[in-house]
A and B are shown apart, each in its own frame.
Chain A
Amino acid sequence: MHAQAGDSLLQLWRGSGARSLVVVGTGKNVGKTVTTRAIYRAALDRGLVCGLTSVGRDGETADIVDASGKPRLWLAPQTVVATARDVLPRSPASEILALSPYMTAAGALVYARVRAGANYELIGPPNASALRAVVDALLAFAPYVLVDGAIDRIAALAGARDAIVVACGAAAARTLDEAIVDVRALVVRLRTPRFDGAGESLAIEGALSAAMTARLISAREKRAIVVRDPTQIALTGKAALHAFEHLTIRCERPLQVIAATVASIGRERTFDPRAFAHAVAEATGLPTFDVYAAERAA
């Protein structure tokens, strides 16, 4: 009766045809790493070798903002990681596969293969363009790559070669309604359709800002507003939803969002898990999973 969240997410990923999957969140502590781990464990159970990395500030043992404990990743033999050399466990020794030219705050990024299971911290590439190169390099070592991600670093992944799972949680919103608005806005934004070339369009160089959007709405702009990729839409929450309601926003390089996950546990508040998951599923139209409860929203 209970869906296996990790395995279901894995099946959606494999069904998407993408070889890499990025987990992004609506904020801090919304279960990105827990989601990543659930999918990773499911892949392990099916005998799939994965490459892993992270972007943003993840990988610290304590959260940089509130000093709360961060989930660590216990990695099984044969798993490949791209992480900073200063946080690579000294023991058990990993097989160092290659050195990268990218620097992180914890030293140069290296590619390593796990030889004996151990807890790993993942500190990934320092910017969006490096992420593309690192994911491609990991794919040379492993058939599948999982990225514990951050929205502002995924621009280089646009173009539908990668799948995305959106994680949302009680930690990033004051109320359930606010959390739903936030995740809906994020998903609408990330799923910005590709511009098909039909009709008149207005190409936006760089980011579509809130001020620019407000001007376009007040001018009753009817042309398609075309951005390079969804990460160039610098709008969140209600402003993003308002913009998509009043403008025809399109992109040149879309992203492929395949599912959402919920974490109803926050330090300061909790939501009812089933109500939260159901509301997210309804608001986003995405298959939605609670990885803590191992459930899929009805």
Chain B
Amino acid sequence: MKPGRLLDAASAQAIGFAWLRAALAPAGPYGEAVFAQITPFAPGDESVAGARAQRVARIAADHSDAQLDALREIVCDVPDASAAIARASMGDLLEDANFLELQRFFDACERLDALAASDDLPRAVSPEVRDCAKALERGRAGRFGFYLDDAFDAALARARATHAQAQAEYDAAAGRAHAAVAAALDREISLPEFIVMRADLVGPLPVGVRVVRETPTYLLCELDADDSVLGALRRRDEAAAGLARAEEHVRAHLSATIREYAAALDAAARAFGEADVLIAAARFTRAQRCAVAVLSADGGLCFEGGRFAPLEHELKAQGREFTPIDLQLDGIAVLTGPNMGGKSVALRTCGFIAACAAYGLPVPATRARLALFEEIVWLGIGAGEDGVVGGLLSSFAREVVQLRDALADGGRPRLVLLDEFARTTTPREGRALLIAVIERLQAERACGLAATHLGGVAEAAHVRHYAVRGLRGIPQRPATGDLALALETLAASMDYRLEEVGGDRAREADAIALAKLLGIDARVIDAAYEALEPE
């Protein structure tokens, strides 16, 4: 799954693209091949993207979790026969391990088709696949194995019988020679070399023994084959060559069958891979309780019950719940609210939902209507800051450079998410810059959300103003001073829902109360409250 032009690295990181990609990852090699080629849909593709999301949703609805798990197990546990199909298509002679790969693939196709409860899952089995499976069936050995069985060809059976007879005759001749030497030496002998201690030797070495190396205390010896052994060996080798020819003949026949149907097998592999990808998408849809979004070309982003799935997943692991949010963006809007109130998460939710829609997926919301964006741009906190230490650019300068690039590339349907942009300069100038940027983006008909603590931005830029509802009361600091407990207390007191507000006044950040909750010295807190100028 490639981000294409939809996301640059910094924006991808900010909206949890890696998490999304991992959540959608297919289980097997065929799915991986398909998944690697997936690119986002672009504006104009609304009907195709919408149809794909509908298809994924139907697959999710038609199967239970257990059925999807069982399907995933099938696509996971299958070797990749693509290389074998490709080699056969070019006239190469396949090896027995290739036939096993193909047989396992055909078996998996049958199992997948049998278990699929929805017509929306691609079918990998075709008459050609069945013909190939039938051609290999005689090689089935045990539950999972493959053997070039005599049943493939009467000539192979004859060659094998001849070889077995010749091998038995050689074994008998060599065994007699071996036993004779062992008896003469009154001991077992190892092969191909063995030691005879000079001290044990009474008289000459037995007939049929050749000395390879002499030392003062022992002789290193080999058996010296006589005419009968050599004759048997020659006949065995001739039989082995005949057997090799017969086996190659069968391999050539099977390889030709695969070659004949290579196009159909390629299509089956592709369908199998697509099924794997769709099964993964359906599992994601069920796990994240996603809904199919209405895709429109009007450039907006509206949803109810929207969730940022990576965080919801993390909270669930801690036994906590994510508070879904509602939002209606028909251009740029401003978002204000307290620290730790979920402003950044609201922005990420917008980006994540837009990304899901761009890949033809149902979105983590109860209802959604949005456009396909050509680009999702994240500016401000969290944009490409990872690993940046020092350097020539200050935090503000980095933001400005990112803004410069974003504005230069404007004019396209974009979702722009600004997280406390220009927070690192003076509030007066930062506010002015933010207002100007919002006006510019609004003029370009971009869609987006700008989270800020600065007051009066929405009114000055003539855009909608959303606010996090915020603290229901000032939470008390836990007596133990435990940070995790403090965060839990905060979460219990915070109403993370968004509401559209009138007026230009930014909501209180409740920064001092939060600093107190998180353990800052009480004297500092008291001093901060004293220093707070009345507005």
Partners in one complex: yes
A34 on the interface (CB 8 Å rule)? Answer: yes
With contacts A90-B247, A91-B243, A95-B146 known, is A291 near B190, CB below 8 A?
yes
Interface residues in A, total, Cβ within 8 A: 38
Cβ 8 A contact of B101, one of A92, A99, A293: A99
With contacts A265-B220, A273-B195 known, is A88 near B97, CB below 8 A?
yes
Residues on A with C-beta less than 8 A from B193 are 265, 292
B430 on the interface (CB 8 Å rule)? Answer: no
Cβ 8 A contact of B96, one of A2, A94, A265, A293: A94
CB proximity to B under 8 Å, residues A262-298 = 264-265, 270, 272-274, 290-294
The CA-CA distance from A32 to B378 in the complex, in Å, is 62
A71 on the interface (CB 8 Å rule)? Answer: yes
Chain B nearest CB, measured from A91 CB (Å): 4
| Binary contact track B131-150/A, C-beta < 8 Å → 1, others 0 | 00000000001101111100
Interface residues in B, total, Cβ within 8 A: 42
Chain B nearest CB, measured from A284 CB (Å): 21
The CA-CA distance from A88 to B146 in the complex, in Å, is 14
Residues on B with C-beta less than 8 A from A91 are 240, 243-244, 247-248
B100 on the interface (CB 8 Å rule)? Answer: yes
> Are A116 and B96 closer than 8 Å at their CB atoms?
no
The CA-CA distance from A194 to B214 in the complex, in Å, is 45
The CA-CA distance from A38 to B189 in the complex, in Å, is 10
B192 on the interface (CB 8 Å rule)? Answer: yes
Cβ 8 A contact of B186, one of A2, A4, A5, A265: A2
> Are B220 and A294 closer than 8 Å at their CB atoms?
no
Choose the segment among B41-49, B159-167, B278-286 that binds chain A (4+ C-beta atoms closer than 8 Å). Answer: B159-167
Residues on B with C-beta less than 8 A from A6 are 188, 190
B394 on the interface (CB 8 Å rule)? Answer: no
CB proximity to A under 8 Å, residues B469-485 = none
Residues on A with C-beta less than 8 A from B100 are 96, 99
Chain A nearest CB, measured from B240 CB (Å): 7
The CA-CA distance from A117 to B240 in the complex, in Å, is 11
| Binary contact track A28-55/B, C-beta < 8 Å → 1, others 0 | 0000001001100000000000000000
B197 on the interface (CB 8 Å rule)? Answer: yes
B199 to A, closest residue via Cβ: A274
Cβ 8 A contact of B144, one of A4, A98, A274: A98
A184 on the interface (CB 8 Å rule)? Answer: no
| Binary contact track A212-241/B, C-beta < 8 Å → 1, others 0 | 000000000000000000000000000000
A residues with CB within 8 A of B = 1-2, 4-6, 34, 37-38, 71, 85, 88, 90-99, 108, 110, 113, 115-117, 264-265, 270, 272-274, 290-294
B residues with CB within 8 A of A = 79, 95-97, 99-101, 104, 141-142, 144-148, 160, 163-164, 167, 186-197, 213, 215-218, 220, 240, 243-244, 247-248
